């Protein structure tokens, strides 16, 4: 998962879908997805179902390549991190009162993936923050 690939419009669009205003509607879509496709696992087709329009995948440089590379990029994330994302997202979206979530995608200081999950209050709402750090592109060979 390349950091800049999933910043820009994609990050903004995901955060809008998981905002306090839209979280219940998104949770309903999540339940419909699981009913049709089985238990959610991070990296599968749910994100493309949630964000079907390629233009909403536009990164900070204007590229929409993240849409066609989603499965590969998400599959490159270590299983331990994918499992944690699955657990956090699935538990929240299946709860009776899902919390808004905020995604922030960026580059790590080294060539590894990392994930920081943090709960915080903003404008009277408890949120779940997901800070996904992707391998530093300046360290690639």
3 pLDDT more than 50: no
Grouping H, G, I as helix, E, B as strand and the rest as coil, residue 138 is: helix
Evaluated on CA atoms 43, 132, 6, 3, the torsion sign reads negative
Give the model confidence (pLDDT) of 75-86 as tens digits. 889 999 999 999
Q: What is the pLDDT of residue 139?
A: 85
State the pTM of this model: 0.88
CA distance 2 to 74: 9
User: Each residue of 17-31: pLDDT tens digit?
Assistant: 999 999 999 999 999
Q: How confident is the model at residue 1 (pLDDT cuts 50, 70, 90)?
A: very low
All structural domains of the chain with their residue ranges:
4-139
């Amino acid at each position: 998962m390349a950091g800049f690939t999933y910043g820009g419009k994609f990050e903004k669009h995901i955060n809008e879908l998981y905002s306090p205003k839209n979280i219940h509607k998104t949770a309903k879509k999540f339940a419909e997805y699981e009913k049709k496709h089985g238990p959610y696992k991070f990296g599968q087709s749910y994100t493309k179902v949630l964000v079907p329009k390629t233009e909403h995948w536009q990164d900070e440089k204007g590229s929409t390549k993240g849409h066609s590379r989603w499965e590969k990029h998400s599959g490159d994330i270590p299983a331990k991190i994918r499992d944690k994302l699955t657990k956090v997202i699935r538990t929240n979206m299946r709860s009776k009162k899902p919390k808004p979530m905020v995604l922030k995608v960026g580059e790590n200081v080294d060539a590894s993936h990392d994930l920081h999950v943090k709960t915080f209050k903003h404008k009277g709402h408890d949120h779940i923050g997901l800070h996904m750090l992707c391998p530093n592109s300046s360290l690639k060979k």
